[in-house]
Structure 1
Amino acid sequence: MDSVRIAGSVLSVLSLLAYAVGVVQPYPGRSFSVTGVMVGVTLAAVGSPGPSGGEGA
């Protein structure tokens, strides 16, 4: 699950950078950066270990 958390973190950071660029210089498709942030945060949350610290219940 670490790979999912890492992928979510990378996607979130890249999407935030794309959003910042879109604020400075508008470009077509910039609204997808917001979607990227939402998906990245979700993947980071799903990939993090639960309260028990392990996988599964």
Structure 2
Amino acid sequence: MDSVRTAGSLLTALSLLAYVVGVLQPYPGRALSITGVMVGVTLAAVGRPTRGESP
């Protein structure tokens, strides 16, 4: 599960960077950065350890 959390965190960070670049300089497909943020946050949340697992 740690790899899912890492992938989600990385996707969120890259998508936020793409969003900032899209605000400064519009480019085709920049709306997908919002989708990337939503998917990244979801993966990061799913990858969190539950109470029964060790961190």
Query: What TM-score, normalized by structure 2, do the two folds share?
Result: 0.94
Letter in 1 for 2:53: G
Cα root mean square deviation, aligned = 1.2
Report percent identity of matched pairs.
74
Query: Offset at 1:54?
Result: 0.9
Query: Offset at 1:40?
Result: 0.1
Specify every segment of 5 or more residues in structure 2 that has no aligned partner in the other structure, as ranges.
none
Q: Deviations over 1:2-54 (max 9, x none)?
A: 0000000000000000000000000000000000000000000000012x141
Specify every segment of 5 or more residues in structure 1 that has no aligned partner in the other structure, as ranges.
none
